[in-house]
Amino acid sequence: MNEKKVILLVNTGSPDAPDKKNLGKYLRQFLMDAHIIDIPWFFRFLLVNLIIVPFRANRSAEYYKKIWTKSGSPLKFITESLVKKLNSQKREFSFYFAMRYGNPSIKNQINELYEKGFRNITLFPMFPHYSYSTFESVIDEFRKCIEKFPEIQYQIAAPFYNHKEYIKSLSEISKKYLTKDIEHVLISYHSIPERHLKRVNKLCLSSQDCCETMSIAHARCYKHQIMETSRLFVKKSGIDTKKFTIAFQSAMSSKGWLVPDTEKVIKELAEKGIKNLAIISPGFTIDNLETLDELNIRYKKVFLDAGGKKFQYIPALNDNMIWVESLQRLLKSNWN
């Protein structure tokens, strides 16, 4: 038996190649997850296989082609690099990674770890904020896959939205991009359905200040957590509280999802005379389609077309050594 502890980093995932066939396979797995489209299985099957995938696979493949590199998917190869850097630090644990959708799968990684003799695993969802569609989905899949190995002891790391190491890394990595000419900072998060918030707390969104009122529900409240991350990041970075905006991207519907919409806010800021805009997406620890294409290509064009001059995308934490070292300390604090 291998006495070393394992930290299993898990992110969303990406297709194996940027083509229609692989996108179709990836989208089916992703969208058939009841955490993503939470309607009865039969209707979800029809919606995904007869409507969404046939019309979306080609378009999604074109988006992925724009960000694909010789090393493959940025999300995957940057995660691989992060794990290599973490393992190069002499610690008492080993790092591995898996993807909720696509490869390497959680199931295959757990099987491999068991065969290598590991019997102590800490699951680390790479999402700073709790949400039913990401954090909870990873936990459910992990528990389903590990239940056939009763010998394995496991722990699940908590969301780290307010951890000092995470906030410090966000601030330090952003410094070089927040130059004096930046007039406004847009903090963009992935939108989620409002009903997912109410799964945790039925009173959620019942008042404008519910995120600021102390509640045990905040431990699993996405909106509270992203607001707190934003507050701490702005404070740590010395950003004028009148010069930042929080918005939400990638909504699957124009109704019933968190707003304001990032694209709409970007256009409005340009129309109001903001010429130099910085944008950061703290919910993504690794750059991916939503940051590299949606934000830094499509929304950049929206801003420039609306009269803006400088659109500064601030990269995710990725495999930056500032984050590597902070992540080591953050993970250690989960055990102490």
String of DSSP letters for 145-173: HHTT-TT-EEEEPPP-TT-HHHHHHHHHH
In DSSP terms, 69 is beta-bridged to: 72
8 Å CB contact between 12 and 97: no
Looking up residue 266, the CATH number of its domain turns out to be 3.40.50.1400
Residues 43 and 104 placed together within one structural domain of the fold: yes
Residues 54 and 73 placed together within one structural domain of the fold: yes
Residues 150 and 12 placed together within one structural domain of the fold: yes
Residues 58 and 117 placed together within one structural domain of the fold: yes
Question: Cα(194)–Cα(207) distance, rounded to whole angstroms?
Answer: 13
Question: Cα(282)–Cα(315) distance, rounded to whole angstroms?
Answer: 9
Question: Cα(127)–Cα(336) distance, rounded to whole angstroms?
Answer: 21
Residues 9 and 146 placed together within one structural domain of the fold: yes
Rg (CA), the chain: 20
8 Å CB contact between 295 and 249: yes
Residues 304 and 192 placed together within one structural domain of the fold: yes
Residues 36 and 116 placed together within one structural domain of the fold: yes
pLDDT values of the chain reduced to their tens digit, one per residue, 336 residues? 777 899 999 999 999 999 999 999 999 999 999 999 999 999 999 999 999 999 999 999 999 999 999 999 999 999 999 999 999 986 778 999 999 999 999 999 999 999 999 999 999 999 999 999 999 999 999 999 999 999 999 999 999 999 999 999 999 999 999 999 999 999 999 999 999 998 877 667 766 667 766 677 778 899 999 999 999 999 999 999 999 999 999 998 889 999 999 999 999 999 999 999 999 999 999 999 999 999 999 999 999 999 999 999 999 999 999 999 999 999 887 654
Residues 177 and 131 placed together within one structural domain of the fold: no
Domain that holds residue 215: 164-313
Of 57, 73, 67, 55, nearest to 16 by C-alpha is 73
Residues 74 and 174 placed together within one structural domain of the fold: no
Looking at the structure of the chain, the number of domains it has is 2
